[in-house]
Structure 1
């Protein structure tokens, strides 16, 4: 590990520990409050795991829809195994990049079409973040208008509005981005090839817009089940949150966890979740420490529920054969 990477990891640890320390200090949370929260109704954690499984299922279905749109026929069972192994590997990589990398690598080997496999992963990421999550952020942002400075709100809203417009163009008129390349501008050389690759990937779906729209719809399902995981955790821990409150703060909390400045989003998730609930007026600044502990753990347990399901991927990873010799021979024969 080089010095730069080691320093970045130390900074992430510092951010994670620092935010959690501030939360504990701010609400005077102690070990007794943690224990009390876990003793509330722990049976709801099973429901949280089911919600997380629902998010996984919708993610796999979204991926399959996009694969089919590229003409890549992958059996459902194979997609499930690949996805779960990718989730397991993603546990140890920043922002889950291991999941996307493994998906692209495995399907490239399985189908013999590396470029199409990588394109699908790229498109899925753009649809999931730029469109589905971006739209949810814009829908929920007005709920925080009273608590956020108007200028900051305008900047934040404009940023996600631009992302949404970009996503809409990519979905329905990707060729418009080629017009940009007719002009000379600073940094053109750096973005020309990646932009061409993105446009080419989306252009494949010009005659298969149903695949893109289906992927967008499934993307909303992914996030709904993620937010339901929070809600089930809140029932288990006695946080007294309504489903509507969780849905309001969910999108912005999800954005916070994507910032690569903490360990797996830990600390950022809790800090954003609690700050947003305070902005809504749901969590009082002087909330009892046992209530604050329950709310904090509602966010924390999303991570632990998620990685508990990753153990399935670990088992598959250790037992799966991935030489694909028979499959690759069949692919060659069909060409």
Structure 2
């Protein structure tokens, strides 16, 4: 292993520590006993309902990804899409910023050898749909919590919606932006030996824009509607009297912070975000942390463990026998 690779590994390790440092700092500043008591008081039936229905999110995401791949001429059956997406979710849950979800390209290559860079393109668009929705709802949260003036809020929201629509419909704009990014001096220098790869990814993403994104966008809205409802049920199971809208908006802001590549499974950044935003509507730090930890246990631990089965199943299928 050369020194450059070692430096990159050490850097990634240090980046992950930031989220852990944040969660340790938060736990040192709150009443841990009270937090644990809140978690212990959770109503089991609602929590079990949330845990079981969390699998529906994987199914919906797999359907969305299957549609995106079909738009690129990659016909993969639903069960295979579910297995690959679940495996990617598991890897994403243990990597900073969920970058591990791009491992789906590796699994897809095993199933569809001719997919080339289309796999990365479909995964990129799939991920961008999540990011765009979270950012838009995050802006709505800032408006709802009165962080910005009314005029600024409206302009920011309209700008976000306009950009989202243009990027989803206009192929020329998408092409211009992607080529500008890849031709920008730092990126151009880093990727100069991989021009064929970047061009393949660019063309793949461009091919997915247009009317073909309407159904994936609708599914994205359905995914997060389900997630916010599940979060509301979980909050009620913990004894919190908070509306679905407030929970959803606070989670959107927390998810924006969780996208930063400084944490694993959102630990630290999610808690900090929820303490801040839920505190604005009267929820205490212990309540916010217990709610965040409940989310982590269900989606970051239980759902990830469920998805890990498919990860190892695919690895077993594709394992090359020793000669």
User: In which range does the TM-score fall when normalised by the shorter chain?
Assistant: 0.7 to 0.9
Q: 1:21 maps to which residue?
A: 25
Question: Match for 1:64 among 66, 70, 89?
Answer: 66
Q: Does the CA contact (< 8 Å) of 1:231 and 1:246 recur in 2?
A: yes
Question: Match for 2:116 among 114, 117, 120?
Answer: 114
Q: 1:175 maps to which residue?
A: 172
Question: Match for 2:10 among 6, 10, 13?
Answer: 6
Task: Determine helix, strand or coil for the equivalent of 2:66.
Answer: helix
Q: 1:329 maps to which residue?
A: none
| TM-score, structure 2 as length reference | 0.80
How far 1:140 moved relative to its partner? Answer: 3.0
* Structure 1 gaps, min length 5: 326-335
Q: Does the CA contact (< 8 Å) of 1:257 and 1:265 recur in 2?
A: yes
Task: Determine helix, strand or coil for the equivalent of 1:43.
Answer: helix
Question: Match for 1:85 among 84, 87, 95?
Answer: 87
How far 1:64 moved relative to its partner? Answer: 0.9
| Separation in structure 1 between the aligned mates of residue 8 and residue 198 of structure 2, nearest angstrom | 29
Q: 1:229 maps to which residue?
A: 230
Q: 1:308 maps to which residue?
A: 302
* Residue 282 of structure 2 corresponds to residue 278 of structure 1: no
After superposition, the Cα gap between the structure-2 partners of 1:70 and 1:15, relative to the gap in structure 1 and judged at 3 Å, is closer
Q: 2:247 maps to which residue?
A: 246
Q: Does the CA contact (< 8 Å) of 2:258 and 2:269 recur in 1?
A: yes
Greater Rg, structure 1 or structure 2?
1
- Alignment map for 1:133-144 (pairs within 5 Å): 133-144=134-145
Between 1:136-145 and 1:312-321, the stretch displaced more is 312-321
* Structure 2 gaps, min length 5: none
How far 1:261 moved relative to its partner? Answer: 2.0
How far 1:56 moved relative to its partner? Answer: 1.6
CA RMSD of aligned residues (A): 3.5
Between 1:270-279 and 1:44-53, the stretch displaced more is 44-53
Q: Does the CA contact (< 8 Å) of 1:137 and 1:252 recur in 2?
A: yes
Task: Determine helix, strand or coil for the equivalent of 1:2.
Answer: helix
| Separation in structure 2 between the aligned mates of residue 251 and residue 244 of structure 1, nearest angstrom | 10
How far 1:4 moved relative to its partner? Answer: 5.7
How far 1:298 moved relative to its partner? Answer: 0.9
How far 1:94 moved relative to its partner? Answer: 1.6
* Residue 322 of structure 2 corresponds to residue 322 of structure 1: no
| TM-score, structure 1 as length reference | 0.77
Aligned residues: 306
Q: Does the CA contact (< 8 Å) of 2:122 and 2:205 recur in 1?
A: no
Q: Deviations over 1:121-175 (max 9, x none)?
A: 1111222213x22332233331122xx3659x959985x8666544433321122
Q: Does the CA contact (< 8 Å) of 2:136 and 2:161 recur in 1?
A: yes
Task: Determine helix, strand or coil for the equivalent of 2:261.
Answer: coil
| Separation in structure 1 between the aligned mates of residue 267 and residue 154 of structure 2, nearest angstrom | 23
After superposition, the Cα gap between the structure-2 partners of 1:150 and 1:172, relative to the gap in structure 1 and judged at 3 Å, is same
Between 1:89-98 and 1:211-220, the stretch displaced more is 89-98
Q: Deviations over 1:209-263 (max 9, x none)?
A: 4431111111112222332332222122223222222122121111011112233
Task: Determine helix, strand or coil for the equivalent of 1:322.
Answer: helix
